[in-house]
Amino acid sequence: MRRRLLLITAASLSLTAAAVAPAAANAATSCRPPTVTAPAGAVVESVRATADAGGTVTVPDQTPLPTPPPIADVPAWCDITVVLAHPGAADHVTVKVSLPSDPARWNGRLQAVGGSAYLAGNLDGAELVTAVKSGYAATATDAGVGDNPLDTTWAIQPGGSLNDGLLTNFASRSVHEMAVVAKDVTRAFYGRAANRAYFNGCSTGGRQGYQEAQSWPDDFDGILAAAPAINWDRFAVATLWPQVVFHEERVAPTACELKAFNAAATAACDTSDGVRDGIIDDPRTCSWDPRALAGTTVRCDGVTRTITRAEAEAVRRIWQGPPSWYGPNRGADVTTFLAVPGQPFFVADLWAKYFVTRDAAFDTTRLTVKDFTRLYAASRRQFHRVIGSDDPDLRAFRDSGGKLLSWHGQYDELVPTEGTVDYRRRVERLFGGGERVDGFYRLFLLPGVAHCGGGPGGQPVDPLGALVDWVERGHAPAALATVSAGGVTRNVARYPMR
């Protein structure tokens, strides 16, 4: 699959090993299993230690995720792998903690990394290795649901009922327990506790970060949550909406035709910010109507095609979103995953099959609006309390001194940007205004940036470093630095500033 499936992997990890005084010892610590105290409600099944010499690390292939390039100059490290279980849940949850072997290479911090799609955390991917290279003790968990982001067979028990224990792990419990275990292991390994603990994730990982702030406000000093898949019970059904539209409008537009609508919208709204750069800076200000393209022709693979009224209406409805939620912004490239006729977005398709209906044969390509409305309501009814991850009450997180830095690309093609804006507005209403929220929670909307990165816009530059600076030096970021593929730099102001 194309590189943009990296879209749902954890947010890119900062290589900035910023200065926190490292442990005084210079000799490598011993890589051996420590005594680990089980988190409340769990038992420790096993603890093992594995030493790695470092150097250039090749990450194993994890199809369908893209294989990252080898990671050079990684210091020697020790992997401590802890397996937890919950009595009565019949689960086996793996937590891995990767620690620089030389205490002098440790920056005194712990970094937890999040997951992607239905992967709670990538135990064998680049995220942990990159964090170790940056000087962090790093940790991830599989939540007991395995290592395949597209495998949801764990959700249904042999008798056909929902596996509530594993869903609870995936939704919230395992990230909290990972924090508890990783802090314990880090303290045992270095002989002192980490000075600060951070969480870093995108998409599913972003949702995990928000869930931590809502439910376990003392786990992390700082949370970097990008393109957060919060409002999961809504988002995971709402992203089936293009299939509903294609079915009802009886159209199957090609990727080329769909891109023609984006090109026309960009031409109409590009300069709304006073700059012609091929990007709709703030799609919320773009009201170009796709029905204006009906009757015009486009060249696709050497063939001239005429845009029909039904195709134009389908694009209008997709951008508008379902009656109950938001659609993608104008400019977002929906042609790879979200709006492929007959090929529903896999996260939504699997959610409908294995969680909401618990029917692996359920066909999400032939939904009517009535069918969709029932499915959406069923998801909300069954799962909002479990995995909605949208509680605006962040008072305990604020009172703990935590900082939440979040960014979302305006061209996100999978998780609607406006869903995150909706959440931020709800937090502001609870706290009595944006100024009262900015002290602990800041959101940045990045023009032209796709899901978790990519797209024509400027990509974020070291957002983790900005979070560290905020937590440890009190420098609240007024803007987030970005750089385009062509080297154009820009500081994007925090929401709602422009």
User: pLDDT for 329-353, tens place per residue?
Assistant: 999 999 999 999 999 999 999 999 9
The whole-number average pLDDT for the span 14-20 is 41
pLDDT band for position 27 (50/70/90)? low
Give pLDDT, residue 323: 95
Pairing type for strands 297-300 and 303-306 reads antiparallel
Question: DSSP secondary-structure letter at 321?
Answer: -
Residue 26 has pLDDT above 90, yes or no: no
**Contact between 495 and 425 (Cβ < 8 Å):** no
Candidate list 12, 101, 174, 203, residue with the active-site label: 203
Domains of the chain with bracketed CATH: 10-25+103-232+387-493 (3.40.50.1820), 236-382 (no CATH)
Q: Is the pTM of this model over 0.85?
A: yes
Q: Rounded CA gap, 429 and 431, in Å?
A: 6
To the nearest 10 degrees (0 to 180), the angle between helices 241-249 and 369-387 is 180
pLDDT of residue 68: 86
Residues paired with 112 in a beta bridge: 139, 199
Residues 470-488 have pLDDT tens digits of 999 999 999 999 999 999 9
Considering Cα of 232, then 237, then 243, then 248, what sign does the dihedral take? negative
Per-residue pLDDT for 432 more than 90? yes
30 is catalytic: no
Whether 247 is catalytic is: no
How far are the Cα atoms of 282, 439, 442, 479, 491 from residue 498, in angstroms, in the given order? 9, 19, 14, 10, 10
3 has a pLDDT exceeding 60: no
The reported pLDDT for the residue numbered 8 is 37
Residue 299 CA to chain centroid, in angstroms? 36
Which pLDDT score, from 0 to 100, does residue 21 have?
A: 39
pLDDT digits (tens, 9 = 90+) for 303-319: 999 999 999 999 999 99
Number of H helices, E strands in the chain: 14, 16
Mean pLDDT for the chain overall: 94
The secondary element (H helix, E strand) that includes residue 450 is: none
For residue 201, what are the β-bridge partners?
225
Q: What's the CA gap between 209 and 201, in Å, rounded?
A: 7
Query: How confident is the model over 114-154, as pLDDT tens digits?
Result: 999 999 999 999 999 999 999 999 999 999 999 999 999 99
Residue 138 near residue 132 (C-beta atoms within 8 A): yes
As a whole number, mean pLDDT of residues 259-281 equals 95
Whether 203 is a known active-site residue: answer yes
| The pLDDT value given to residue 16 | 42
Question: Quick one: average pLDDT of 147-164?
Answer: 95
* pLDDT tops 50 at residue 17: no
Q: What is the pLDDT of residues 35-86, one digit of tens each?
A: 999 999 999 999 999 999 999 999 888 776 778 899 999 999 999 999 999 9
